[in-house]
Amino acid sequence: MQHIPQVAYRKTVAMVALCVLLAVVAIAAICFGSVSIAPRRVFEILLGLDPSEQTDFARDALVITQIRLPRLLLGAAVGAALAASGAVMQGLFRNPLADPGLIGVSSGAGFAAALAIVLGGTLLPESVNKLPFEILPIAAFVGALLATFLLYMVASRGGRTSMAIMLLAGIAFAALAGAGTGLLSYISDDRQLRDLTFWSMGSLGGATWSKVSVVVPMVLPTLIAIPFLAHGLNAMALGEAEAYHLGVNVNRLKVAAILLVSVAVGAAVACSGLIGFVGIIVPHVLRLAVGANYRFLLPASALLGAALLVGADICARTIVSPSELPIGIIMATIGAPFFIWLLLRRSPEFAI
């Protein structure tokens, strides 16, 4: 062990521990819920063993394959996307309090989702409303991409992108989108207001294989690509000028990071609703534990984010079983005190 540097050894142990944690949480997510299923039977079902002598096997197989597995995969994809995106945003803004919501992605998705819920039946042709897929996630994803495009246009001048202007424009856009969403809530009927409220609180309750087949192919490539930003983000920690002198194309790094985050968060928000704090909590915990090297921080954030959201979903399904809490409430209960603790530390590194 002496030939292995201590820091590298600690990060290797941390990565193995995160993989084990994700595996344990994933098994728990399949076993626990309104119907508890023993781990042995889960493995029998997943391995396709003979069910002839086991009672309730068909029911448990249906619960696992049609409800809990798609929900597990969707939760892991959403958690990984939000946490890795948060780590990218914190590196890009050089601020540990940054998260994807800062650049207006979530606000754009929320406003577009509100438009689809409240005005979709009126503005869209009847043939569109009868399509075999849901309009809501598509509208939310398009809204997230449009918001990113508008903010990028505002923040870009002469081939350079100002992160400070993007941050301020994102705050303004979030306020504008919030006002629009509030207006739509005001004019909505009772059913629309209920749908809008539950979507805004976030949930994995609508997880299906069709949603998984849409989200995973969009999130997975971004999770593979994001670690390639690690060298540039490490250099950006020294400042933009220093990163440029180290050979980093700073503007290309900004554009690539913003596009990857927009696609990942847009896909996640479109299928799960608004879930906050994952992008803040996960990278910061890992940074405190094993340092700020983005070569480790980015993949580790994806693993821990997936485990955290799947774990929160278990809590959401079991605390008030057989009913279900919106997962946004669980994350806010965890994340808000953690965020206040971060603010109370009053570290100079929080300055933008």
Q: What is the pLDDT of residues 58-91, one digit of tens each?
A: 788 888 888 899 999 999 999 999 999 999 988 8
Q: CATH no. for residue 341?
A: 1.10.3470.10
pLDDT digits (tens, 9 = 90+) for 84-124: 999 998 888 877 777 777 667 788 888 888 888 887 766 66
pLDDT(343) > 80:
no
What is the number of domains present in the chain?
1
- Residue 91 structure tokens: 């590196």
Mean pLDDT computed over 150-156:
80
Instruction: Write out the DSSP string of 264-317.
Output: HHHHHHHHH----SHHHHHHHHHHHHH-S-HHHHHHHHHHHHHHHHHHHHHHHH
- Residue 201 structure tokens: 């609180």
pLDDT(349) > 60:
no
- Residue 33 structure tokens: 């819920």
User: E-assigned strands of 26-155?
Assistant: none
pLDDT digits (tens, 9 = 90+) for 171-185: 888 888 889 888 888
Cα angle 330-336-340, degrees, rounded to a multiple of 5: 160
Mean of the per-residue pLDDT values of the chain: 82
Chain centre distance of CA 262: 11
Cα→Cα distances 318→23, 31, 323, Å: 19, 11, 8
Instruction: Write out the DSSP string of 153-202.
Output: HHHEETTEE-HHHHHHHHHHHHHHHHHHHHHHHHH--HHHHHHHHHHHH-
| pTM, entire model | 0.86
Q: What is the pLDDT of residue 150?
A: 84
pLDDT(239) > 50:
yes
Q: What is the pLDDT of residue 218?
A: 84
What proportion of the chain, given as a percentage, has pLDDT over 70?
A: 88
pLDDT digits (tens, 9 = 90+) for 273-287: 888 888 888 998 888
SS3 state at 54: coil
Least confident of 118-132, 195-209, 275-289: 118-132
Q: Which amino acid is at 6?
A: Q
Give the domain extent around 239: 4-350
Q: What is the pLDDT of residue 79?
A: 93
